[in-house]
Amino acid sequence: MTKHIDVIVPCYNEESSLNRFWKGSGAAFSEIKGYAFRYIFIDDGSTDGTLDKIRQLASLQDAAKTDAPGAPVSPEEFAPQVSYISFSRNFGKEAAMYAGLQASRGDFAVIIDADLQHPPELVEKMIRIVEETGCDSCAARRVSRKGEPKIRSAFARAFYKLMNRYSDIEIVDGAVDFRLMSRQMVKAIVQMPERQRFSKGIFSWVGFDTEWIEFENVQRIAGESKWTLWGLVKYALDGFIDFAEAPLKLVGVLGGLTTVCSAIYFLIEFFKTVIIGRDTPGYASTICLILFFGGLIIAILSLMGEYIGRMYLETKGRPIYIEKESNIDEETKRETD
């Protein structure tokens, strides 16, 4: 029986890459026999012609549709179905991936970037690994960071180290969002209700067996990366706070230690005053202490604020994304399986 694979492609201003992605991925996927492919493009509020391109692809496929569900697919008649969802604004790649996974109904789903930085040829290997080993997911990790700004690589390395040491989950260095997942795993991920999503953490948190394959970093085919340094810092902080309670514990320990220190200091001063008598009042040291504790309190409060802010956002229960247009019918969307 033909198995169905949903190819989830988050797109934000990818007008210049989409044609090449379509050709490149089509060439790779048409070689994979026994599987029917369906693209799910997520237009993440692009401001260029991305949505038009996607609509075009969808209508071309509709016109040429020959594949009845379950029919075997041969390279000559590689006719993937094209679904798309377009957001009302840019909600971010995390939201786009979520929308894609939510719309997925296939036996497997694979998330892949539109800029061909995730080689589509690897999908065949992923399928083989999942089918042969019986694992639930096959994910890709970059073994090199060639062509990436040095500061970004250094920052990423530090983030992975910190994350693996202090959070409840393990994140593989170089892991990208390019991965094939079983239906069961997709369902588990879609059920995670959090609004502020950090998929790298969620993939690991839901468990399931994951096999890793490695690939060399590839340059973007066109357009430019949507990440700014500040964006990456925010993303890292999101991941850390979403999955780690260590910072909270750390400030607790810090608070405790400073209290003990100040108590000791107070006792020393008290006995000095009682036994030796008061010498020149320590103006400088008082100011130092005030500043030290003031700073510490503000730091602790702002960290608490981060967590509370997140709780506030979660309790508002806003949707992860808002859809403006889609060719997936409501009926299919409501199906839970």
**Residues of the shown chain interacting with ligand UDP in the complex, contacts defined by CB under 6 A:** 10-12, 14, 44, 90, 92-93, 96, 113-115, 117, 220, 225-227
Residue 36's Cα: distance from chain center in Å? 26
Residue 226 C-beta: closest distance to Mg ion, Å: 8
Closest distance of CB 227 from Mg ion, Å: 8
Q: Which is nearer to ligand UDP, 93 or 136 (CB)?
A: 93
Q: At closest approach, how far in Å is the CB of 250 from ligand UDP? A: 29
Cβ-based nearer residue to Mg ion, 113 or 242 = 113
H/E run at residue 6: strand 3-11
Indicate which of Mg ion, ligand UDP, none lies near residue 195 (CB less than 5 to 8 Å, by partner kind).
none
| Binding of Mg ion by 16 (CB under 5 A) | no
Q: Are 214 and 129 in contact (CB under 8 A)?
A: no
Closer CB to ligand UDP, residue 164 or residue 225? Answer: 225
Tokens 């492609």 correspond to 9
Q: What, of Mg ion, ligand UDP, none, does residue 107 touch, CB below 5 to 8 Å by kind? A: none
Residue type, 68: A
Left if phi > 0, otherwise alpha if psi is -120 to 50, otherwise beta: which for 39?
A: beta
Report the residue from 115, 136, 177, 242 that binds Mg ion according to the rule CB under 5 A.
115
Q: Which residue in 317, 322, 325, 329 sits closest to 103, CA to CA?
A: 329
- CA proximity to 54, closest of 82, 89, 26: 82
Q: Which is nearer to ligand UDP, 11 or 139 (CB)?
A: 11
Segment interacting with Mg ion (CB under 5 A) among 107-115, 131-139, 238-246, 310-318: 107-115
Going 259 to 260 to 263 to 265, the CA torsion angle's sign is negative
How far is the CA of 319 from the CAs of 20, 42, 94, 150, 323, in angstroms?
32, 16, 13, 36, 10
Which does residue 201 touch among Mg ion, ligand UDP, none (CB within 5 to 8 A, set by kind)?
Answer: none
Give 65-70's long-range contacts (Cβ < 8 A, gap of 24+): 67/36, 69/4, 69/36, 70/1, 70/2, 70/36
Beta carbon of residue 227, minimum distance to ligand UDP (angstroms, whole number): 5
Report the partner that residue 10 touches, choosing among Mg ion, ligand UDP, none (CB closer than 5 to 8 A by kind).
Answer: ligand UDP
By CB under 5 A, is residue 44 in contact with Mg ion?
Answer: no
Strands (E), 191-336: 210-215, 323-326
Which is nearer to ligand UDP, 15 or 107 (by Cβ)? 15
Residue with tokens 């309670």: 245
> Closest distance between Mg ion and the C-beta of residue 117, in Å?
4
Q: Which is nearer to ligand UDP, 136 or 178 (CB)?
A: 178
Footprint of Mg ion (CB under 5 A):
115, 117
